[in-house]
């Protein structure tokens, strides 16, 4: 499968999405966003599940990690992650602190974004409807890997990451390449709760641009998270032509990607998570 923005790579049954906008930097950065295929986890985690702490076994998840890391040519020992909790906390991971975040090792630190400058370090964000966002600066060769669901979006975690990139690594936003992976889109992200709508309108201007109402039920509204994220990025100086959005709704495509909302609505007993892995070469 291929379109202008991304291609789906299938390697011995394991599938992942990669962004074409990062093709010119293949000697510097490696990335992949997983589909559900090619793992060992049973239903409802079938099969390439990255959710530790659910009812799927740790052995299954670690085997899934090994499989995707092998395909991406990233040593799984160089993969790092903290506990995601819909925060706006962004960690800089480097050789002096990385062991704390070794994947599969329990740590209590909560974070939903990682910045890496040192080569040979990879990070992982897990999602099921939330937005995985990769920010890469080819000039300074710094990369960020961000988990931004609706809560993280309201907290504008991606702007916190850009602020850190500017302050700590002298990144200029106009050089940033931003990739937004598959996530729940406005077709499926809906509610009837006024208080829910207000969470967005208190933060983001021009609600008529990102909130639409259903014709047959005027109480039910849909929110376009991609619009608000993109607008925020443009406002801080990211160039529109440097923003790549994979045009895939995870809930609509729940057979191919994990969708929390689909699992909930379909009364499945649990849900799985997909992974966005980004690493700087060489390993």
> Footprint of Zn ion on this chain (CB under 5 A)?
187-188, 249, 251-252
Question: Based on CB atoms, which residue is closest to Zn ion, 155 or 185?
Answer: 185
Nearer to Zn ion, 81 or 251 (CB): 251
Of 113, 140, 108, nearest in space to 125 by CA = 113
**Measured between alpha carbons, how far is 25 from 138 in angstroms, rounded to an integer?**
7
Q: How far is the CB of 189 from Zn ion (least distance, A)?
A: 8
What is the layout of strands, in order, in the sheet containing 6-11? 6-11, 14-19, 29-34, 274-280, 122-127, 79-80
Cβ nearer to Zn ion, comparing 99 with 247: 247
Closer to Zn ion at the Cβ: 59 or 255?
255
Instruction: Give the whole-angstrom CA distance, residue 236 versus residue 165.
Output: 12
What is the nearest approach in angstroms of Zn ion to the Cβ of residue 224? 11
Pick from 73, 63, 75, 64: nearest CA to 18: 73
- Alpha helix stretches (DSSP H) within the chain: 58-72, 150-154, 157-169, 194-201, 207-210, 225-235, 260-265
Closest CB to Zn ion among 97 and 266? 266
Minimum gap (Å) between residue 178 Cβ and Zn ion: 22
Q: State the minimum distance, in angstroms, from the CB of residue 85 to Zn ion.
A: 25
CA distance linking residue 106 with residue 103, whole number of Å: 8
CB of 257 to Zn ion, least distance (A): 11
């Amino acid at each position: 499968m291929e379109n202008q923005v991304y291609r789906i790579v299938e390697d011995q049954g394991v599938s992942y999405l990669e962004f074409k906008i990062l093709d010119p930097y293949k000697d510097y950065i490696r990335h992949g966003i997983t589909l559900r295929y090619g793992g060992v986890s049973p239903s409802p985690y079938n099969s390439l599940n990255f959710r530790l702490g659910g009812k799927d076994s740790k052995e299954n998840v670690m085997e899934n990690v090994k499989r995707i890391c092998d395909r991406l040519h990233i040593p799984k020992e160089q993969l790092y992650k903290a506990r995601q909790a819909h925060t706006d906390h962004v960690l800089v991971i480097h050789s002096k602190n990385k062991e704390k975040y070794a994947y599969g090792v329990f740590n209590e630190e909560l974070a939903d974004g990682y910045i890496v400058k040192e080569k040979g370090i990879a990070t992982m964000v897990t999602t099921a409807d939330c937005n995985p966002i990769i920010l890469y600066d080819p000039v300074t060769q710094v990369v960020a890997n961000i988990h931004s669901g609706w809560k993280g979006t309201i907290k504008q975690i991606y702007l916190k990451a850009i602020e850190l990139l500017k302050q700590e690594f002298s990144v200029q936003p106009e050089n940033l390449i931003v990739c937004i992976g598959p996530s729940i889109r406005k077709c499926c992200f809906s509610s009837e709760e006024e208080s829910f709508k207000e969470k967005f309108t208190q933060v983001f201007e021009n609600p008529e641009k990102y909130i639409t109402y259903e014709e047959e039920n005027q109480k039910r509204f849909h929110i376009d998270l991609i619009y608000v994220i993109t607008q925020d990025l443009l406002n801080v100086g990211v160039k529109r032509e440097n923003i790549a959005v994979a045009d895939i709704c995870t809930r609509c495509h729940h057979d191919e990607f994990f969708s929390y909302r689909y699992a909930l609505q379909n009364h499945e007993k649990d849900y799985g998570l997909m992974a966005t892995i980004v690493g700087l070469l060489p390993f």
